[in-house]
């Protein structure tokens, strides 16, 4: 997918099917772990039912650790240790490894699978949008092309090394993303780091974690960048590529029954600590 030169008005030249119909934009207030994950899952169901693309931009009310859907935590992390450090834990519906959410802007995109039939196609469409938005802020971001095979969801933190398709600045991961696909819709969400809080994972862990190089952060590149500035850049990038209707809406527009059903699972320790 072609991307325009790096200017304050960078935009995607060739719009993807993801952005051709109705796009619903949600800018959420900072929320707790259960609420954030429940809203993301509710978006997935809504995308399947409505056929719309939904984009949510949000932050976290307090530092939180999230685990990948199939990541083993037993013997590596524990609820008792997280409680002792007052860091809530939640298990995502997407894959990947442990991630500390604090000073970041998180994005989530849910869309019907017909708009991006493959996992790779979904990543490419969303990454192209994120690259355009970040480059409009003069962040020299690019898509990682690692030579090594993708790592399994083990003990190493998410920001240890970039995986294929993640976004980096000079080889250091800036945006970590994960995707979950069902028959009718998919969800991709990811963290855009403002500052580096990943070191807290070493305090939470019951074992010695691999040491990781510092990730890239927006404040390390430009101290004036804020979560709101990045959110605005993403919204402008969406406006630049959407050929259908853009609807700006709120969390409350997501069906309450979907949010409540998802929240009950994310609040359940049997889900968070199931493996």
What positions carry a catalytic annotation? 158
Smallest CA-to-CA distance from 108 within 182, 25, 13, 19 is with 25
Residue 161's CB is within 10 A of a number of other CB atoms, namely 20
Rounded Cα distance, 141 and 170, in Å:
8
Q: Is 211 exposed, middle or buried (0-12, 13-18, 19+ CB in 10 A)?
A: exposed
Rounded Cα distance, 16 and 275, in Å:
38
Token pair recorded at residue 93 = 């519906």
Rounded Cα distance, 61 and 32, in Å:
5
Rounded Cα distance, 17 and 241, in Å:
10
Rounded Cα distance, 99 and 158, in Å:
6
* Residues near 187 by beta carbon (within 8 Å), at least 6 away in sequence: 40, 41, 43, 44, 47, 93, 94, 108, 109, 110, 179, 180
Provide the β-strand partners of residue 91: 67
Q: Using CA of residue 38, residue 39, residue 40, residue 44, what is the dihedral sign? A: positive
Token pair recorded at residue 1 = 């997918």
């Amino acid at each position: 997918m072609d991307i325009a030169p790096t200017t304050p008005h960078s935009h995607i030249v060739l719009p993807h099917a993801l952005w051709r119909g109705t796009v619903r934009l949600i800018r959420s207030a900072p929320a707790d772990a259960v609420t954030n994950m429940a809203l993301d899952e509710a978006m997935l169901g809504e995308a399947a039912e409505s056929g719309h693309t939904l984009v949510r931009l949000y932050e976290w009310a307090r530092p939180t650790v999230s685990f990948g859907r199939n990541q083993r935590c037993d013997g590596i992390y524990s609820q008792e240790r997280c409680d002792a450090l007052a860091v809530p834990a939640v298990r995502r519906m997407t894959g990947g490894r442990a991630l500390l959410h604090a000073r970041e802007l998180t994005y989530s995109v849910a869309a019907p699978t017909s708009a991006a039939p493959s996992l790779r196609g979904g990543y490419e469409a969303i990454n192209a949008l994120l690259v355009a938005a970040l480059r409009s802020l003069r962040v020299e971001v690019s898509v990682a092309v690692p030579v090594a095979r993708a790592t399994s969801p083990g003990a190493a933190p998410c920001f240890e090394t970039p995986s294929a398709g993640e976004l980096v600045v000079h080889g250091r991961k800036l945006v970590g993303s994960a995707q979950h696909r069902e028959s009718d819709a998919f969800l991709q969400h990811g963290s855009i780091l403002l500052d580096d809080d990943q070191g807290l994972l070493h305090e939470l862990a019951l074992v010695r974690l691999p040491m990781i190089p510092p990730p890239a952060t927006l404040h390390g590149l430009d101290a004036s960048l804020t979560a709101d500035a990045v959110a605005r850049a993403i919204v402008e990038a969406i406006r630049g590529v959407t050929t259908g209707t853009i609807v700006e809406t709120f969390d409350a527009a997501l069906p309450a029954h979907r949010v409540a059903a998802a929240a009950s699972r994310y609040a359940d320790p049997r889900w968070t600590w199931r493996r």
